[in-house]
């Protein structure tokens, strides 16, 4: 992004990305970008699209989430098999919580009282971390080693996907027990959700192993409704190397519920659809081997980790135009939006 464009954007964006807290303190929106081949995560200020901090000493950080009150960042540490707790003000690791196995992704409950960590080795589990005591209080058996875990929009369920078992496990967040399993035809990659009018979960959007697109699953019945395959991008060469069984590996519904974004490692683009009708809106180039994506809370911008470029791409959701490329660490993949308490 040019300096002139940045100067035009900043007065508007800064007003959006500073959030007053209940205590009268300012909380700031940050994009946390993990680096799959490094020992750190980069903290991006979306008001300036610059790196404003680095979380260090987290070897092979896989998943990332943050406390709703903005005081902590949680990262799963594949090297040490721990959940690493990071102080939001200092960006230093304050505690490492031992897990039952090698972790992949993580999710925090709406009230911030629990963090669920997907255990990516057989037989598979969701470790439950009590954030008051910072202890691992339970390991919930699920069907298959877990790659990704999410909390449904209504906060009632933790939804975990397994690549080797091709299953979606649904866990009640009140009782921490598995209530049902959805079987799919291929390994479960990233997922996203939309809601009914009453706020309950309507659909699970699921990217699958070796499928260039995503499936749509009815949450209530567990039935697959349809699949949408991403078409070729005119003029773009198809990349088939290094896909790791995941030609599409980044999926998200914007916070306002109006758009669904799906990244393609084959064509280096994000495909954008309107909701709830799933009509194609357009595509935008987002770097080599784009992976996970995360939105600013106001749904104006989306940030996508481009693993092949060591960059995070910032895109205007309304115009589908790139606004910045932010240099980060080695092989950036998973990322998340946090509203952090900095003072």
* Ordered structural domains, the chain, with CATH: 3-341 (2.130.10.10)
How far, in Å, CA of 237 to CA of 81, rounded?
38
Tens of pLDDT along the chain (343 residues) come to 333 333 333 333 333 465 555 445 678 999 999 999 999 999 999 999 999 999 999 999 999 999 999 999 999 999 999 999 999 999 999 999 999 999 999 999 999 999 999 999 999 999 999 999 999 999 999 999 999 999 999 999 999 999 999 999 999 999 999 999 999 999 999 999 999 999 999 999 999 999 999 999 999 999 999 999 999 999 999 999 888 999 999 999 999 999 999 999 999 999 999 999 999 999 999 999 999 999 999 999 999 999 999 999 999 999 999 999 999 999 999 999 999 998 8
- 81 phi-psi bin (left φ>0, alpha ψ -120 to 50, beta other): left
Which pLDDT does position 342 carry in this prediction? 86
- 245 phi-psi bin (left φ>0, alpha ψ -120 to 50, beta other): left
207 with 192: CB under 8 angstroms?
A: no
Instruction: Quote the tokens at residue 272.
Output: 């954008």
Instruction: Quote the tokens at residue 299.
Output: 């749904």
Closest CA to 88 of 76, 70, 75, 106: 70
- The pTM of the full predicted model, rounded to 2 decimals, is 0.93
How far, in Å, CA of 83 to CA of 105, rounded?
10
Which pLDDT does position 272 carry in this prediction? 98
Which pLDDT does position 13 carry in this prediction? 38
Instruction: Quote the tokens at residue 153.
Output: 């929009």
CB-side neighbour CA atoms (13 Å) of 175: 6
Rounded to 5 degrees, φ, ψ at 4 are -65, -45
């Amino acid at each position: 992004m040019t300096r002139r464009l940045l100067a035009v954007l900043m007065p508007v964006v800064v007003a959006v990305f500073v959030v007053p807290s209940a205590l009268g303190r300012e909380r700031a929106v940050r994009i946390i970008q993990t680096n799959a081949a490094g020992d750190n995560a980069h903290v991006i200020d979306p008001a300036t699209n610059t790196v404003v901090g680095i979380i260090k000493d987290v070897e092979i950080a896989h998943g990332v989430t943050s406390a709703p009150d903005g005081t902590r960042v949680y990262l799963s540490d594949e090297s040490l098999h721990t959940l690493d707790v990071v102080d939001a003000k200092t960006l230093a690791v304050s505690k490492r919580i031992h897990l039952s196995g090698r972790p992949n992704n993580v999710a925090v409950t709406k009230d911030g009282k629990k963090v669920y960590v997907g255990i990516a080795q057989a037989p598979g589990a969701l470790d439950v971390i009590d954030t008051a005591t910072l202890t691992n209080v339970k390991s919930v058996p699920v069907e298959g080693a877990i790659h990704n875990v999410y909390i449904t929009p209504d906060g009632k369920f933790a939804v975990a996907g397994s690549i080797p078992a091709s299953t979606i496990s649904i866990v009640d967040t009140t009782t921490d027990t598995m209530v049902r399993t959805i079987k799919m035809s291929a390994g479960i990659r990233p997922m996203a959700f939309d809601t009914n009018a009453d706020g309950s979960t309507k659909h699970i959007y699921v990217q699958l192993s070796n499928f260039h697109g995503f499936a749509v699953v009815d949450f209530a019945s567990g039935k697959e409704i349809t699949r949408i395959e991403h078409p070729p991008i005119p003029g773009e060469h198809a990349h088939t190397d290094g896909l790791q069984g995941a030609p599409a590996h980044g999926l998200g519904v914007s916070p306002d519920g109006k758009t669904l974004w799906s990244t393609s490692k084959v064509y280096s683009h994000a495909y954008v659809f309107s909701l709830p009708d799933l009509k194609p809106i357009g595509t935008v180039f987002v770097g080599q081997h784009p992976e996970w994506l995360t939105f600013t809370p106001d749904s104006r911008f989306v940030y996508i980790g481009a693993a092949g470029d060591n960059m995070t791409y910032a895109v205007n959701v309304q115009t589908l135009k790139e606004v910045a490329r932010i240099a980060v660490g080695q092989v950036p993949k998973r990322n998340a939006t946090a509203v952090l308490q900095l003072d």
